[in-house]
Amino acid sequence: MLGNPLLGIVVLFFLMFGVSFADGNAKKVVEARPLFGTVVTMEACLSSGEEDLLRKAMDRAWECLEGIQVRMNVYSPSSEASRVNQANGKAIEVSTDLYDLISRSKEYQVLTGKAFDITISPLSRLWKESSKAQRYPSKEDVLRSKGFVGSEKIELLDGRKIRLPEGMAIDLGGNAPGFSTDEVVKILHQGGLKNFLIDVGGEIYASGVGCDGRKWRIGSSDPGGHGKFVDVLELQDMAVSTSGDQEKFFEIKGERLSHIINPLTGYPVRGAASVTVLAPTTMDADVLSTALCVLGPQAGLKLLSSLGKGYEAMMLWRRDDGSFERYASDGYDSFRLVK
């Protein structure tokens, strides 16, 4: 969740830094900081003499991420995103990156047939409040909240101004982490780095190879909660994101409900235990992993295949008896370490 207020308090006081030697002359450098209500990790593999190059690039990357959090944290009343939400129908000038993110979010809404929508906030708030009160929302409440959802209603105006109709609110938790990851990838590439891995709370981009000279290995957790991996993926120059109901969910009267709300119905999605998407960019993977939870296996994989080369997915759908049914795109298994 972008901008968790508790972790935002300690962001300036926590830094993990580690350097270790791997095979040959390569060095592994790892840094991590709490941002966006999660932990952001950068891991890089360096050849001899690249330490200064890395330090400068990482400093720029951390500065970029901290700026994004300040501008896009909807939990901070002073952020640009909050000012858009609180504008009561007035146009608000925003920074270039937030304007671009909202513009691209509108495009994603069209691409996914409205399965992804950054204006889902009124519905998310309704289900969160219902969970606290331990009562299901009425159909009338769902319809009323659903009336304030629809990215097509966001106006993009000249001068980088955004107008959001009164009563609506944006929630950037579904694509800002992926967007942030991609911004870091650009900075590190521009700084001359090739072999690194960026992880923004599970939104991951793997560039080049690891310190052992192999593709990066990334585990996909078992949604059954057994502490095991469903898959171990080998990735190079691509992104991966996983969405589902295994970690984030609502609970009402003993019923576990996904935190992912279907913008088309107003109700939590059902069955999507785990959806892993591989894509050329992290924001693509971030958005599509959420959208496929909404669309379901058949429509989701059809959308993915229409996007062409570089897009793959694996979906675990929960059966009534608690077991899982597996669906995968044609090329997904080629990325698995154990086929």
pLDDT at 225 over 90: no
**Structure tokens given for 133:** 């009160």
**Structure tokens given for 257:** 């409900």
pLDDT at 67: 96
Q: What is the pLDDT of residues 130-171, one digit of tens each?
A: 999 999 999 999 999 999 999 999 999 999 999 999 999 999
pLDDT at 223: 79
Please say whether the dihedral angle defined by the alpha carbons of residues 224, 225, 228 and 232, taken in this order, is positive or negative.
positive
Four-CA torsion 296, 336, 196, 189, nearest 10 degrees: -60
Alpha-carbon span 106 to 151, nearest angstrom? 6
Of 61, 26, 49, the C-alpha closest to 195 is: 26
Q: Give me the half-sphere count of Cα atoms (radius 13 Å) on the Cβ side of residue 32.
A: 13
pLDDT at 339 over 60: no
pLDDT at 314 over 70: yes
Q: What is the pLDDT of residues 6-41, one digit of tens each?
A: 222 222 223 333 444 444 567 899 999 999 888 999
pLDDT at 245: 81
* Furthest-apart CA atoms within the chain: distance in Å: 65
pLDDT at 1 over 50: no
pLDDT range class, residue 227, cuts 50, 70, 90: low
Helix axes 96-111, 282-295, angle to 10 degrees: 40
Comparing 5 with 244, the larger pLDDT belongs to 244
pLDDT range class, residue 226, cuts 50, 70, 90: low
In terms of phi and psi (left: phi > 0; alpha: psi -120 to 50; beta: otherwise), the region of 323 is beta
Comparing 5 with 322, the larger pLDDT belongs to 322
Q: What is the pLDDT of residues 228-279, one digit of tens each?
A: 788 899 999 999 999 988 778 889 998 989 999 999 999 999 999 999 999 9
The predicted model gives 98-104 an average pLDDT of 97
**Structure tokens given for 218:** 């990334």
The predicted model gives 276-298 an average pLDDT of 97
pLDDT at 114: 97
Q: What is the pLDDT of residues 177-214, one digit of tens each?
A: 999 999 999 999 999 999 999 999 889 999 999 999 99
Q: Which of 4-13, 43-52, 120-129, 239-248 has the lowest mean pLDDT?
A: 4-13
**Structure tokens given for 327:** 């669906």
β partners of residue 313 = 277
Comparing 72 with 247, the larger pLDDT belongs to 72
Of 120, 117, 116, the C-alpha closest to 128 is: 120
Q: What is the pLDDT of residues 293-312, one digit of tens each?
A: 999 999 999 999 999 999 99
Q: What percent of the chain has pLDDT over 70?
A: 91
